[in-house]
Amino acid sequence: MKAKRKDMCTQLLERYNTQGKACLQRILTGDKSWVHLYDPECKAQAMEYRHKTSISLRKFKVVASARKVLFPLFWDMDGVVHMEFLEQGQTLNSERYISTLRALKPRLRRVRRDKDSILQHDNARRHTSRQTQNAIKQLELTTLPHLAHSPDLAPSYYYLFPQLKKYLKGHHYDNDEEVVADVRRWCRRQSSELFADGVRRLVKRLRLCVDRNGDYVEN
């Protein structure tokens, strides 16, 4: 597995070394995540609101709400290109993912216009199934190689989702619509530089992975 990761990273770095910034501008990265209607603050966040000399009160353990919303999100160096929020009970299987890709295609034409896009998603079953691969060919989408168990090389997981979830921690939402609206607002408020920085960091992570002979890259 490590050898395969190193080979993949080497191939991507060779492409970057040849194409430079243009290579990064082509990347359209996509992943799915969950957002809870309530996700408690971590200990470090809670400490930010208390002076170091103030009395520490004992707190009961609080867990995230059972109710949560699943959403796939696609973004590039300029910002969010497309996102969807699934109905409660829906799963992101091959059929549902193909529906998402079909909705993504016209968004690419409107948002990215003449930019040539390369889709980066992992090799989950819904992405690699024959049904999905046929749809990708029909939609004329180009994909980047990405190995299993490599969230450390996926910009959404090592960069965007952690920032979004840090913002959401401690917020209470009464229903799905409220958390969906806040996720959309957060995405709209972010500058293009934030998204560009997330993609640029991929190059550093690819190099670290190669230097470590394919080992996992810690945050």
pLDDT recorded at residue 61: 52
Residue 191: inside a domain: yes
Residue 9: inside a domain: yes
- pLDDT confidence of 146, banded at 50, 70, 90? confident
Residue 52: inside a domain: no
- pLDDT tens sequence across 21-36: 999 999 999 999 999 9
Range of the domain at 88: 2-47+60-211
Mean model confidence pLDDT for the chain? 90
pLDDT recorded at residue 60: 45
Residue 27: inside a domain: yes
Residue 55: inside a domain: no
Residue 218: inside a domain: no
Reduce the secondary structure of the chain to three states and give it as a string. CHHHHHHHHHHHHHHHHHHCHHHHHHEEEEEEEEEECECCCCHHHHHCCCCCCCCCCCCCCCCCCCCEEEEEEEEECCEEEEECCCCCCCCCCHHHHHHHHHHHHHHHHHHHCCCCCEEECCCCHHHHCHHHHHHHHHCCCEECCCCCCCHHHCHHHHHHHHHHHHHHCCCECCCHHHHHHHHHHHHHHCCHHHHHHHHHHHHHHHHHHHHCCCCCCCC
- Read off the CATH number of the domain in which 122 is found: 3.30.420.10
Residue 54: inside a domain: no
pTM assigned to the model: 0.88
Residue 110: inside a domain: yes
- pLDDT tens sequence across 165-199: 999 999 999 999 999 999 999 999 999 999 999 99
Total of domains in the chain: 1
